[in-house]
Amino acid sequence: MFNPCLQIHTKAGTIISMVKVIPRAEHTISRSNISDGALKVLYRLKNASYQAYLVGGGVRDMLLGREPKDFDIATNALPEQVQEQFRSCHLIGRRFRLAHVRIGADIIEVATFRAAPLPSDTGADAEGAFVDTEHRIDKDGRIMRDNVYGSLEDDAWRRDFTINALYYNIDDFSLVDYTGGLADLKAGQVRLIGDPEQRYREDPVRMLRAVRFAAKLGFRIHPDSEAPLFKLGYLLDDISPARLYDESLKLFMGGYAVQTFELLRHYGLFGHLFPYTEADLAHEDSHFPMTLVTRALTNTDARIAAGKTTTPAFLYAALLWGAMRTLAQQMQTQDMTESQALQEAGNIIVARQVQRTALPKRFSLPMREIWNLQLRLTQITGKRPFVTVTHPRFRAAYDFMLLRAEAGEEIQALCDWWTRFQVVDGDEQQGMVSPRSGTPSGSGKKKPRRSRSKSSKVVSASQASDAAE
């Protein structure tokens, strides 16, 4: 059914909308699909006489027949009032004040209805930014602080995409749609609410979110929301590396990395996240490093689909390998050994990359070990293979070497050697590491010196640590 017209005032002007309320009998959302924690929060707020709605990706995914990853709640209760209702609640954020409620192992995010500032609410400070007591917009239109509270209608128009602005009302189990989100879900399109360029300028990360939703859902981006993507990518350069790192994980570790990568490059956004990878991709040699990157992304998607663990260390190792290798090759012409060049090039590429997307040391260090082990994997005589196979990152480095071979690097013989070395018995392992066996064709290395060691403790493949990924 339709409610009467509602006027929603924004900084851009007045928006006239017809709110659509879909009763329980006419939609597919069931409380049985909502987590117990989210239901407890919804009912506690309702019983305390507050409005409480499930909103965002959880509602969207349930309507699409997908299993929701999380459940977000919107309410007219202020953050401090939410905190009064739950002992396990703590408030977070300055730019967006939120309440996090812990129910068992779940954390339910609760946000107070927000509104856009009216033009009369804002002035300009010395830096040219629009300001009021709880709202700050910089000279480029980017929202720096957003704690202006409003009504449910206001909140709907402040959200980013129509498909994320659908509300499930715990009071009567109806679905509330102010922005045409249901129609866009049926049409399979991602559409920004309001003026697309203004909304991207308010928060440039919305460009990455548009791409992520399009890739994840198999939707197309509405033409009006798509056009600014080709020209506003530079706005991402002002976003903090920490935030871009978080977004990169959502982009590439959500199970749709290949489609996401292709869309990011299509819109010219990938280079703002990985500028050195993008530069290296522009100088392909027999489809390398493009093949390596796409195979790594495909491998990540496959592991996620199979319920296996993934780690940013392996993915970043693949994304940055081409740029690091190119730099290392240049350094080797300056009288550096291969080992020195790989070490120094790795230092430089990591230092450059973290200026765009932060990479915590718990991932950057394993990534560097995967790289460094690539050289050690070419050393297959004497004791060295037995030592290498016990390294904590051996399995990840071995998998990475296989990935390089699949991408076209001429190391297949070396890959075959290590594959066999891990499964044969001790006597056969000893025979494989004899200097007389030589270096496998395709390793690119000269025949190593004869090892002084005549024997070595046999290490079976089962003793190797599991992969980093």
The confidence score (pLDDT) of residue 127 equals: 43
Sorting pLDDT into bands at 50, 70 and 90, what band is 468? very low
Q: Which residue has the tokens 């956004």?
A: 269
Q: Where in the chain is the domain with CATH 1.10.3090.10?
A: 275-463
User: What pLDDT is stored for residue 295 in this prediction?
Assistant: 94
Query: What's domain 275-463's architecture?
Result: Orthogonal Bundle (1.10)
pLDDT bucket at 79, cuts 50 / 70 / 90: very high
- What lies within 8 Å, CB to CB, of 169 at 6+ separation is 53, 175, 176
Does residue 441 surpass a pLDDT of 70?
no
Confidence of residue 5 (pLDDT cuts 50, 70, 90): very low
Closest to 317 (Cα-Cα) out of 283, 293, 301: 293
Contact 271, 278 (CB under 8 A): yes
Which pLDDT does position 296 carry in this prediction? 95
> What percent of the chain is predicted at pLDDT more than 90?
76
pLDDT for position 426: 87
Q: Mean per-residue pLDDT for 425-439? A: 80
pLDDT at residue number 9: 40
**What are the pLDDT digits (tens) for 351-360?**
999 999 999 9
Report the Cα 388 to chain-centroid distance in Å.
Answer: 32
Among the listed residues 146, 154, 155, 160, the single catalytic one is 160
DSSP 121-176: G-EE-TTS-EE-SSEEE-TTS-EEEE--B--HHHHHHHSSBGGG-EEEETTT--EE
Tally of CB atoms within 10 A around 260: 25
> 287 falls in which pLDDT band (50, 70, 90)?
low
Based on the residue annotation, tell me whether 160 is a catalytic residue of this protein: yes
Query: Alpha-carbon distance 324 to 305, whole Å?
Result: 29
Reading the block at residue 315, the tokens are 């993915």
For 397-426, b where at least 16 C-beta lie within 10 A, e where not — what string? bbbbbbbbbbbbbebbebbebbeebbeeee
Least confident range of 53-57, 240-244, 460-464: 460-464
Tally Cβ neighbours within 10 Å of residue 198. 14
Average pLDDT (234-257) is 96
Q: Which residues contact 237 (CB under 8 A, 6 or more apart)?
A: 272
pLDDT of residue 142: 58
Helix (H) or strand (E) holding 26: none
- Given this model, what pLDDT does residue 115 score? 87
d(CA 206, CA 157): 15
Question: Which pLDDT value is given to residue 457?
Answer: 36
Active site residue 36: no
CATH number for the segment(s) 1-114+150-187: 3.30.460.10
Whose tokens are 């129609």? That residue is 183
pTM: 0.82
Say whether pLDDT at 403 is over 70: yes
* Residue 135 to residue 220: CA distance in whole angstroms: 32
pLDDT at residue 465, as a whole number? 36
Task: Tell me if residue 114 falls in helix, strand or coil.
Answer: strand
pLDDT tens digits along 162-209: 999 999 999 999 999 999 999 999 999 999 999 999 999 999 999 999
Is there a catalytic annotation at residue 70?
yes
Burial of 184 from C-beta contacts in 10 A (0-12 / 13-18 / 19+): buried
Which pLDDT score, from 0 to 100, does residue 141 have? 56
pLDDT the model gives residue 16: 52
pLDDT tens-digit map of 127-168: 443 344 444 555 555 555 556 899 999 999 999 999 999 999
Asked if 409 contacts 400 with a C-beta cutoff of 8 angstroms, the reply is no
> Read out DSSP for 34-75?
S-HHHHHHHHHHHHTT--EEEETHHHHHHHTTPPPS--EEEE
Q: Would strands 135-137 and 143-146 be described as parallel, antiparallel, or unpaired?
A: antiparallel
From 61, 72, 146, 155, active-site residue:
72
pLDDT of residue 138: 57
pLDDT category of residue 113 using cuts at 50, 70 and 90: very high
C-alpha Rg value of the chain to the nearest Å: 27
**CB 319 within 8 Å of CB 277:** yes
Euclidean distance between CA atoms 366 and 111, whole angstroms: 37
Residue type, 285: D
- pLDDT at position 188 is 97
Distance CA(131)–CA(55), nearest Å, equals 28
Given 70, 138, 246, 399, which residue is catalytic? 70
Count the Cβ atoms, other than its own, within 10 Å of residue 127.
8
Q: Would you say residue 66 has pLDDT above 60?
A: yes
Residues of the chain with CATH 3.30.460.10: 1-114+150-187
pLDDT above 90 for 444:
no
Q: In this structure, what token pair is assigned to residue 202?
A: 């308010």
Average pLDDT over all residues of the chain: 86
